[in-house]
Homo-oligomer: A and B are copies of this chain.
Amino acid sequence: MTLIARSDDLRRENQRRVLAALRADSPLSRTELTATTGLSASTVTSITSSLLAADYLVEAPRKDGGTGDENASLARRGRPQVALALNPKAASIGALTLTLNRLSAVLVDYSGSVILEVTEKVETQSLARGEFGRRFVSLLKKAVDDAGASAGPLRHIALTVQGVSDAKGTRIHWSPILRHRDLQIDDDLREAFGTSVSIANDANMIATALKSREPQIYDQSYAAILLSHGIGMGLVLGGRTFNGILTSAAEFGHMCHIPQGALCRCGRHGCIEAYAGDYGIWRTATGGDPEVVPDWDIDRETMAELAGRAKAGDERARAAYTSAASAIGHGLRNLFTLLDPFPIAFVGSGVLAFDLMEPMIRTSLGRKGIGLAYTDAEFHCYENDLELTLLGTIVTGLTTLDRSLPVNKEAAGGDYATAD
């Protein structure tokens, strides 16, 4: 994969490593960077000084040693370390998200802090084809204008869509919240702002966010399962987010649970989603016709109420959650069989009823197969999917930007004063 042939590439890779270390934990002194990246002290000096000269880094105020630890770092003997941090004003990126009936543009500075957010309510289902690009452009323009000179120049746009984009990340193949297929919005953005644009799907961004937030749990291989109207999956294998050959994500929700079973949104029968998506649970609980897919969104309140009824002991509601859990559990069982067990993060409003489902999920996982124990699989829950989606979009955008940073001493950030 990684094509490294010239020594510039070497520098680029090492520079990226330094920036990644600072994104994971900031501020950091050069000595700490040496330890984290494994590079030599001289190399760290060389890289950081070129990044400082280009104003991507700034010398940060003294790092407070937290509250608990004695002030070992303050009252130490030798020359004090000087902390380095990402310069917020070095650049900014736009993190755009397209969710049901809501367009959002978040302006983020280079250090990863949100500058401001602009949101617009629209009927995503009925919006005309060309409108998406236009609206996003004006939304982000507004954000950039409002931020004014305090923000660094916009250098990248990361767009996340609920739905299936193609593997290369340029087109939106299909989305449950859109009427159109094969929607292309990146061109408008690219032209309007003159930056690169990347497109990803929400489940993958949630997976990215989890890794960034809890790297000790989500490391090499794990999956995020998004429980909401539909069922999405962000799959990370061997440290790499799985990007399909044709589509961008793992369609866990459309694996077959019961052949010739209930009708799914996708037009097939018996998908996991048809039992475990909000509409599936609701349909089962209300005794709806399994051949009919509700064409409206079950709102959050309705689902909360349904969960409440189940917890109160309502038999039909309980049964609906049990059948949802069975679908998820059997799906996971197959997933684990195929790819080995790994930590699973359940994300979204559906986790409000997770306690109703967990026992049946674990039961359905079944006992261990060939030397593999499934039952002690690690599950974690996160209710706020939008928050994670945004974080993942931001992380992806900044990482992309870091990777494209110039490598020479006189960097492209020529609009900055050159310090010494």
Partner-B contacts on A (CB < 8 A) = 1-2, 4-5, 7, 10, 13-14, 38-39, 164, 173-174, 181, 220-221, 233, 237-240, 242-247, 250-252, 254-256, 259, 266-268, 330, 333-335, 337-342, 366-367, 369-372
Chain B residues, Cβ within 8 Å of A238: 1, 240, 242-243
A261 to chain B, nearest CB (A): 12
A44 to chain B, nearest CB (A): 12
Inter-subunit contact B181/A371 (CB<8 Å): yes
Inter-subunit contact A372/B256 (CB<8 Å): no
Chain B residues, Cβ within 8 Å of A233: 338
A250 to chain B, nearest CB (A): 5
Nearest residue (CB) in B for A243 is B238
Chain B residues, Cβ within 8 Å of A5: 10, 13-14, 38-39
Q: What separation, in Å, do the CA atoms of A264 and B13 have in the docked complex?
A: 49
Chain B residues, Cβ within 8 Å of A341: 245-246
Inter-subunit contact A266/B369 (CB<8 Å): yes
Inter-subunit contact A244/B340 (CB<8 Å): yes
Q: What separation, in Å, do the CA atoms of A2 and B14 have in the docked complex?
A: 12
Chain B residues, Cβ within 8 Å of A174: 370-371
A46 to chain B, nearest CB (A): 13
Inter-subunit contact A256/B10 (CB<8 Å): no
A-B contact pairs, 18 of them (CB 8 A): A1-B239, A2-B2, A4-B10, A5-B13, A5-B14, A164-B370, A164-B371, A237-B237, A238-B242, A246-B371, A247-B372, A250-B338, A254-B369, A256-B334, A259-B330, A267-B369, A334-B334, A338-B338
Chain B residues, Cβ within 8 Å of A246: 340-341, 371-372
A18 to chain B, nearest CB (A): 12
A179 to chain B, nearest CB (A): 14
Chain B residues, Cβ within 8 Å of A335: 338
Chain B residues, Cβ within 8 Å of A240: 238, 240
Inter-subunit contact A245/B220 (CB<8 Å): yes
Of the residues B4, B181, B256, contact of A13 by C-beta under 8 Å: B4
A342 to chain B, nearest CB (A): 6
Q: What separation, in Å, do the CA atoms of A330 and B258 have in the docked complex?
A: 11
Of the residues B1, B10, B39, B173, contact of A10 by C-beta under 8 Å: B10
Q: What separation, in Å, do the CA atoms of A7 and B254 have in the docked complex?
A: 47
Q: What separation, in Å, do the CA atoms of A288 and B61 have in the docked complex?
A: 77
Of the residues B220, B250, B268, B337, contact of A339 by C-beta under 8 Å: B250
Q: A252-B338, A255-B337 are in contact. List 10 more A-B contacts (CB 8 A).
A: A4-B4, A164-B371, A173-B370, A181-B371, A220-B245, A246-B372, A251-B337, A254-B369, A256-B333, A259-B330
A163 to chain B, nearest CB (A): 9
Inter-subunit contact B254/A337 (CB<8 Å): yes
Nearest residue (CB) in B for A364 is B259
A74 to chain B, nearest CB (A): 33
Chain B residues, Cβ within 8 Å of A243: 238
Nearest residue (CB) in B for A163 is B370
Nearest residue (CB) in B for A247 is B340
- The 9 A-B pairs with the shortest beta carbon distances in the complex, nearest first, are A244-B340, A245-B340, A255-B334, A174-B371, A254-B337, A255-B337, A251-B337, A266-B369, A266-B370
A89 to chain B, nearest CB (A): 30
A187 to chain B, nearest CB (A): 21
Q: What separation, in Å, do the CA atoms of A339 and B244 have in the docked complex?
A: 6
Q: What separation, in Å, do the CA atoms of A1 and B336 have in the docked complex?
A: 23
Q: What separation, in Å, do the CA atoms of A342 and B242 have in the docked complex?
A: 14
Q: What separation, in Å, do the CA atoms of A160 and B106 have in the docked complex?
A: 52
